[in-house]
Amino acid sequence: MAPRRARVLGEQPDHAEALRRHLISVTQRLLSAHGLSGLTTRSIAREAQVADGVLYNHFADKDDLVVSALSERLGDLGERFAQECPRPGAQDLRAGLTALVVQCRRFGAEAFPLVAGLLGRPDLVHELFARLHATDDAAAPIIWRDVLGFLDAEQRLGALSDEVQVEAVAALIVGATQLGALRDPAAAAAASSDRDEDPGTADLVTVLVRACHP
Amino acid sequence: MAPRRARVLGEQPDHAEALRRHLISVTQRLLSAHGLSGLTTRSIAREAQVADGVLYNHFADKDDLVVSALSERLGDLGERFAQECPRPGAQDLRAGLTALVVQCRRFGAEAFPLVAGLLGRPDLVHELFARLHATDDAAAPIIWRDVLGFLDAEQRLGALSDEVQVEAVAALIVGATQLGALRDPAAAAAASSDRDEDPGTADLVTVLVRACHP
Amino acid sequence: MAPRRARVLGEQPDHAEALRRHLISVTQRLLSAHGLSGLTTRSIAREAQVADGVLYNHFADKDDLVVSALSERLGDLGERFAQECPRPGAQDLRAGLTALVVQCRRFGAEAFPLVAGLLGRPDLVHELFARLHATDDAAAPIIWRDVLGFLDAEQRLGALSDEVQVEAVAALIVGATQLGALRDPAAAAAASSDRDEDPGTADLVTVLVRACHP
Amino acid sequence: MAPRRARVLGEQPDHAEALRRHLISVTQRLLSAHGLSGLTTRSIAREAQVADGVLYNHFADKDDLVVSALSERLGDLGERFAQECPRPGAQDLRAGLTALVVQCRRFGAEAFPLVAGLLGRPDLVHELFARLHATDDAAAPIIWRDVLGFLDAEQRLGALSDEVQVEAVAALIVGATQLGALRDPAAAAAASSDRDEDPGTADLVTVLVRACHP
DNA sequence: TATGAATGAGTCTTCATTCAT
DNA sequence: GATGAATGAAGACTCATTCAT
């Protein structure tokens, strides 16, 4: 006799994995919609059209599910960031930095709503970081690595002055864009989705170019 | 003739205000230690060595206490920031920016752990901002105003190039320092408390000077 | 495949409904025993030999449970009243009125202890009435409708003088019997349960007959 | 050194008794305005402009104050009822019964809001009755005695048929009027305050006259 | 005796987790 | 494995009562 299967997901191969993904996906949706404080196991189950208890067949507990959902989503966002990151040498410095800033803002706009609620739970933050680094063997967190990589390559190509530390430039770029997302997620989302350059981005890039130009 | 007094606080003038401060102080401590989610009215009462109900003799609500604690602390930190902010024209650009970055880091190191937990509660964030702006009539948030003021003055004095937007520079400075505090409060605290310039700060300033030099 | 079941109720079909009834029954008992003010969610749970939280699996609220308990019980009592009400024309006036008074007393003896405690909570009274009228489409409250109906029919049959307003007679009958229940539930219960006519009832009927005789 | 005196009441002889009366009066007001469930010791103290604790210098506890307030008020209402009760033989039967019904309605309109909330507290009801009967040595409750007295005298005067039991007539009058007050306090108040006879009262009296006429 | 803050048991309610079916 | 009702430990908050002043 085959094990029972959740009704929402029809018959499919690897039902267990499918249900796991389904729960994660629902959790991501609810998390970005109502935040961590509004997330209950019941709301997840109801939204997933699944019994209250299923969660515990696939995750150790609610925290495990939450961290799994976040780490997967952040992983995806990080991956997309890496892909859409400008290629070193493919454009002049201003164009490259502009693309970088736009991508950073986009990432922030999508990632911050998810993570915001977590900041009140130091234990979960810790666990989340551990997971992200476990999957990825790099010591540096998401994005950071790519930004550093880009800047470093540009410096080697001579587009960036040797007098600047790429870590410092990265800190400025990431800091300004992520904090912008925190302070006003809507504006960040708008700025990163528009094709047209928004003025804030342009001003930021102007300063950065001055700083980095050889 | 006078009402009873809480045992923790011995005899002192203005007992009521003293207890209010005591509760606020305890709340600040617990908040930065265990986050907002770990903060219960009972834990506050126990830590304050006071009965469960006292809280409601001095605050409308648990939320009211939390916001009061945060707004008071942030107000103090903001005030200190304003005082210790470098004076425009009193030193060369590098020294001024260095002092600015150091103070920003210090502020971040102390403020972020407190505020972090609030990000999951938009209503409290809103209330907190309202209170901060009620005391202070400026529209701009704490720090931001001072940083902008400093940069603007330096630009008028000719120490900053007219080609850069001070808002963009401010965004870079504040972003890098605050996000640094979020990511590694310990390092930020160390960097800002050490008399000796820490390397991270120096590198950051180097980049900023290049960007701003006329 | 099927969820757990409360221990108090053994195995039975439609466990959910059974537990709901169990809670309602316990609430009715406690309500008439100790009044509304003595009714706590804990006392209900303990008396029902059930966990504190179950209540909220079957009712929105404590108030919801209370109103459900009362409306169900009153509905039942009203139905029984309607059935045992004397039929117009089936007996002479004295016999009819006697039966009416006896039934009214019986109803009062059972209903008043339950409803009494609610009088301090106008909101619950309102909700209770709404529920009773939702089930029943009549605008008039329980009993009243049946008493009026009986008197009206008797008047049409000529057993009641055309000079009396049936509403006034109904007010006298219902008032005297219900207030009697309020003042002395035990006596009312005794009077209505005895087969033998009790003197109070007989005297009441004598007066009513004099008033109504054509 | 003279004992401390509450500020609200200036210096007056028998300060203690004055304060006691003040508290009772405030309690009566709040009770009829917001019911027993909305009555807290704090609200009484605030309304009385007196410290939270004074209550316990004059009453055993909150229940004692409530029962004292109610028993005094009911005593007053009963006294007024007795005074405004029609005098036997001073008018014809219809006029006398009309006056009686009007007064009963008035009493109900004023008394019921006060007592309503108490019905959920059997213990307080019991205590209240005990106090009313302690002051008054009659076994019969307020009003009842007067109604019975009036009817009995009228019967002796030959205005009431000897065939009716005055107790039964009293039960009908009191029942109909008090239950009316319970069901619709506003209407009862209106009916009793208007000089003009309201139709409900007239119909009621018509029936009663038919019943009692010799 | 008045004051009114302190007390803390008790209230309703939520919700992560378990477990019999 | 899926179900979803049962569980019960918290949680925030209220309020009658006490008591040092």
One-letter amino acid identity for A167?
A: E
Confidence of residue B1 (pLDDT cuts 50, 70, 90): low
The confidence score (pLDDT) of residue B116 equals 86
What are the structure tokens assigned to C200, written together?
């109070």
Measured in angstroms, what separates residue C22's CA from nucleotide E20's C1'?
20
Chain A to chain B Cβ contacts (< 8 Å) = 120
- Over residues B193-214, the mean pLDDT reads 84
Interface check for B163 against chain A (CB to CB < 8 A): the answer is yes
Surface-to-core class of residue A210, CB atoms within 10 Å of its CB (0-12 exposed, 13-18 middle, 19+ buried): middle
Measured in angstroms, what separates residue D27's CA from nucleotide F19's C1'?
24
Q: What count of other Cβ atoms lies within 10 Å of the Cβ of residue C105?
A: 26
Three-state DSSP at B163 gives: coil
CA distance D39 to B21: 32
The confidence score (pLDDT) of residue B161 equals 95
The answer on pLDDT for D100 being more than 80 is yes
Measured in angstroms, what separates residue C7's CA from nucleotide E20's C1'?
11
Least Cα separation, residue B4 to chain A (angstroms) = 36
Interface check for C149 against chain D (CB to CB < 8 A): the answer is no
Query: Widest CA span of chain C, in angstroms?
Result: 70
The answer on pLDDT for C139 being more than 60 is no
Confidence of residue C140 (pLDDT cuts 50, 70, 90): low
Question: Within a domain: residue A1?
Answer: no
Higher pLDDT, B3 or D133: D133
Closest Cα in chain B to A208: B211
Question: Within a domain: residue A25?
Answer: yes
Interface check for C75 against chain D (CB to CB < 8 A): the answer is no
The DSSP annotation for C105-121 comes to HHHHHHHHHHHHGGGG-
Question: Within a domain: residue B4?
Answer: no
The confidence score (pLDDT) of residue D130 equals 87
Measured between beta carbons, the chain D residues lying within 8 angstroms of C167 are 200, 203
Do the Cβ atoms of D165 and C207 come within 8 Å? yes
Q: Give the predicted TM-score (pTM) of the model.
A: 0.87
The confidence score (pLDDT) of residue D1 equals 39
Least Cα separation, residue C176 to chain D (angstroms) = 4
Measured between beta carbons, the chain A residues lying within 8 angstroms of B129 are none
Confidence of residue A10 (pLDDT cuts 50, 70, 90): low
**What is the rounded average pLDDT for all residues in chain C?**
87
Here the CATH number for the domain that contains residue A191 is: 1.10.357.10
Summarize pLDDT for D27-36 with one digit per residue, the tens. 999 998 888 9
Confidence of residue B6 (pLDDT cuts 50, 70, 90): low
Summarize pLDDT for A38-81 with one digit per residue, the tens. 899 999 999 999 999 999 999 999 999 999 999 999 999 999 99
Work out the angle between the directed axes of helices A166-183 and A93-116 (0-180°, nearest 10).
50
Among all strands, which nt has the closest C1' to C63 (CA)?
A: E12
CA distance A102 to A201: 7
Q: What count of other Cβ atoms lies within 10 Å of the Cβ of residue A86?
A: 18
CA distance D106 to D193: 7
The confidence score (pLDDT) of residue D81 equals 94
The confidence score (pLDDT) of residue D3 equals 52
Confidence of residue B89 (pLDDT cuts 50, 70, 90): very high
Question: Within a domain: residue C48?
Answer: yes
Q: Where are the beta strands (DSSP E) in C127-190?
A: none
Q: Do chains A and D touch (3 or more CB pairs under 8 A)?
A: no
The answer on pLDDT for D214 being more than 90 is no
Surface-to-core class of residue B94, CB atoms within 10 Å of its CB (0-12 exposed, 13-18 middle, 19+ buried): middle
Closest Cα in chain D to C181: D175
Q: Which of residues 29-88 of D touch strand F (CB under 7 A)?
A: 39-42, 52-53, 55-56, 61-63
**What is the rounded average pLDDT for all residues in chain B?**
87
Give percent of chain D with pLDDT exceeding 70.
88
CA distance C101 to C207: 12
Do the Cβ atoms of B120 and A119 come within 8 Å? yes
Q: Which of D117, D120, D207 sits opposite C172 (nearest CB)?
A: D207
Question: Within a domain: residue A155?
Answer: yes
- Over residues D140-163, the mean pLDDT reads 92
Instruction: List b or e across B185-209, with b for residues whose CB sees 16 or more CB atoms inside 10 angstroms.
Output: beebbebbeeeeebebbebbbbbbb
Residue of B151, B179, B209 to mutate, testing the A interface (most A Cβ within 10 Å of its Cβ): B179
Smallest CA–C1' distance to F3, residue: C1
What are the structure tokens assigned to C73, written together?
């019980």
- Find and list the nucleotides of strand E having atoms within 7 Å of a protein beta carbon: 1-21
Chain C to chain D Cβ contacts (< 8 Å) = 122
Summarize pLDDT for C71-128 with one digit per residue, the tens. 999 999 999 999 999 999 999 999 999 999 999 999 998 898 888 888 888 889 889 9
The reply to whether C85 has its C-beta less than 7 Å from any atom of strand F is no
CA distances, B169 to each of A97, B211, D169 (Å) = 15, 9, 94
Q: Which of A36, A169, A174 sits opposite B207 (nearest CB)?
A: A169
The confidence score (pLDDT) of residue A1 equals 41
Question: Within a domain: residue A177?
Answer: yes
Confidence of residue A210 (pLDDT cuts 50, 70, 90): very high
The answer on pLDDT for C41 being more than 60 is yes
C97-102: which pairs have CB atoms within 8 A and are 24 or more residues apart? C97/C173, C97/C205, C97/C208, C97/C209, C97/C212, C98/C197, C98/C201, C98/C202, C98/C205, C100/C147, C100/C150, C100/C173, C101/C173, C101/C177, C101/C201, C101/C204, C101/C205, C101/C208, C102/C191, C102/C192, C102/C201
The answer on pLDDT for D2 being more than 60 is no
Summarize pLDDT for A157-191 with one digit per residue, the tens. 999 999 999 999 999 999 999 988 887 777 777 77
**What is the rounded average pLDDT for all residues in chain A?**
87
Q: Which domain holds residue B52?
A: 12-212
The confidence score (pLDDT) of residue A104 equals 94
The confidence score (pLDDT) of residue C15 equals 76
- Three-state secondary structure along C86-99? CCCCCCCHHHHHHH
Question: Within a domain: residue C5?
Answer: no
Measured in angstroms, what separates residue D151's CA from nucleotide F9's C1'?
64
Measured in angstroms, what separates residue A62's CA from nucleotide E16's C1'?
8
Confidence of residue C207 (pLDDT cuts 50, 70, 90): very high
Q: Which of A35, A118, A207 sits opposite B172 (nearest CB)?
A: A207
Number of domains in chain A: 1
CA angle C141, C146, C149 (to 5 degrees): 120
Q: Which of A116, A120, A177 sits opposite B37 (nearest CB)?
A: A120
Among all strands, which nt has the closest C1' to C18 (CA)?
A: F5
- Over residues C180-200, the mean pLDDT reads 71
CA distances, C187 to each of A196, C170, D173 (Å) = 87, 21, 19
Question: Within a domain: residue D6?
Answer: no
Do the Cβ atoms of A177 and B175 come within 8 Å? yes
Contact call for residues B189 and A157 (beta carbons, < 8 A): no
CA distance B74 to C85: 74
Least Cα separation, residue B54 to chain A (angstroms) = 25
Instruction: List b or e across C33-72, with b for residues whose CB sees 16 or more CB atoms inside 10 angstroms.
Output: ebbbbebeeeebbebbebeeebbeebbeeeeebbbbbbbb
DSSP label at residue D40: -
Summarize pLDDT for B18-73 with one digit per residue, the tens. 899 999 999 999 998 888 988 999 999 999 999 999 999 999 999 999 999 999 99
CA distance B167 to B148: 7
Task: Name the least confident of B28-42, B171-185, C141-155.
Answer: B171-185
- Over residues A102-130, the mean pLDDT reads 89
Confidence of residue C21 (pLDDT cuts 50, 70, 90): very high
